[in-house]
Chains A and B, each alone.
Chain A
Amino acid sequence: MTSKTIKPFFLWKHLNKLRWLSLCTVFAMLIFLPYAHVYQTFEAAHAYDLLADSEKQLYDTMEAITSPFINDIEKDLDAIKGNTWSGTFFGYQLSDPLAALGQIFAGRSFYLPFLLTALVPVIFTIVFGRFFCGWICPATFIYELNTNVAAWLRRAGLKTGNRRFDLRIKYLVLAIGLVLSAITGSVLVAGIYPPAIVGREIYYAIALGGFGAGSVFFVITLLFDLLVARRGFCRYLCPGGALYSLLGRFRIFRIQRIVENCNDCAKCNAICEFGLDPLRDGFGQECNNCTACIAICPTDALTFKVRLSDVPNMGPGHLGKLYRRDKKDNGKQ
């Protein structure tokens, strides 16, 4: 028997680092932009001498950071505004698909210019699945760190929750959120969607002097993740995650197991933040292409494939004990 080893493309292994870079960049931008806004308002007031000492410090810091890139503070810093919920990026406006959907329900009408801003994210989601959840979402950044906190707590001997619920609860949350939006005539899904909350609350805290009501909700979700279910909010309750799951159901880029390389070590199942089952080819529409399983696989048995659906369970990995025993048994018969 010829055992031809299939090596996955070497970069896939490092995508997880790139993902963390992306998450950190997004989060850093969410902190930077409010400061940039405050800096702009100082500039607009034309009164550097009247600023308090702390404000002068902020002004000088921002000047040092931004002066290599911009000429006109008031105009040039307008290029990037907003957050991941809805933002302006060099003249192009991008919005979360959930914002567009929520607005359709709240206004019971279609406002095309705004819906078009959600077009690019929708196309990306159809191609890459829940990539937003793993690669951009500022709440994911905190939730994944929160998972590490849970690991430390467990190492210290404390109990953290790891219950499992029905994954379909989040579709119910999405439906209820949209119906409530339609009843009240206000986009209420924005109030229960962590990335929108995080972006807003950071802005409130920096530019308006204090966290708002949303931060309480966010802390509750953190505690829920810590004490009830690992990444529980994203997996079971997030309305945006539900929408992305539906849109990304037939995503083209998926992670897939190379059964010939797999040795059944189950590290992929342990690392998967979303509690999926890469070991038995169980990815489904929940996978957010975070590539943590690819990064941790010791035998390079996971790779990206261009496919419209997951393969059915391919059985135990060919490097594992189970497969060898099965083969021995078959050989005897």
Chain B
Amino acid sequence: MSVLFAATGAELSKIRSSRAVWLITGAVIALHLLIGLANIRNTTTAVEGITPDGLIEIFAGEHRPAGAALIDLLVSFSLQIVVMFLPIIAAVIGGQEFREGQLAQSVLAVPRRGLLTTAKAIAVVVFMAGVAILVELISNAYLFLAVKDWNPRLLLGGDTLADHGTLLALAVLVSLVSFAITTLMRSTLLGIVASVLLTALAMTQVLARTVPAIDALLPVSAGRNLLLDPADADLSSSAGYAAIVLVAWTLLCTVAAGLLLSRRDAR
């Protein structure tokens, strides 16, 4: 176990000391802050207009119970960053290994490839969980600013915390899928392209409307199915099925990446 701890620590050190990772992570966090800033006035106005019977109009002509609508808004706000941009950060982390002989240096340091893959996966989970928590904290901070005069305890509800947990799990799983695909393709660019493609398929909901059975098997679509309310979006499966799909994608991709690393020469 101490070998695994050492290898994982080394992988985290690699991630932390990469300028490319910090630049892309900084850009994603900055984008999240900007989007939040751009929306906070609208959200605050909507909260100020909550009717005496507790209805809010976030989107024009759509009146919903305020608490549930605001929590859905919170989840959607974080979800778009989590599924669109966190996989790109993970692809940059995974792609580092295939630049300038890094993989050979990694194998010299940790020659057991299964151990190396496991350490990498754990390091990605830890780092991406940290980024996801930061994303969720920013989302919470913005929503708190909007609701503090109406119901400051809204963000502490059990359902809200459960949504945060699900979002965190989703962030980690889609990031791991992206990391593993990048490792399989041995290229940051190809990893990013694959992630963007999977995200585009889910966000446009093309497959969800035409062949929902296929859509339900895609990882980002599964993430959407896991988190969003069926009343608000065209979902292609239940939350339970989506969870199974996401975990299966993560396990299969990570194991495949490990097998490929093990079988190939470290070039």
Pairing of A with B? no
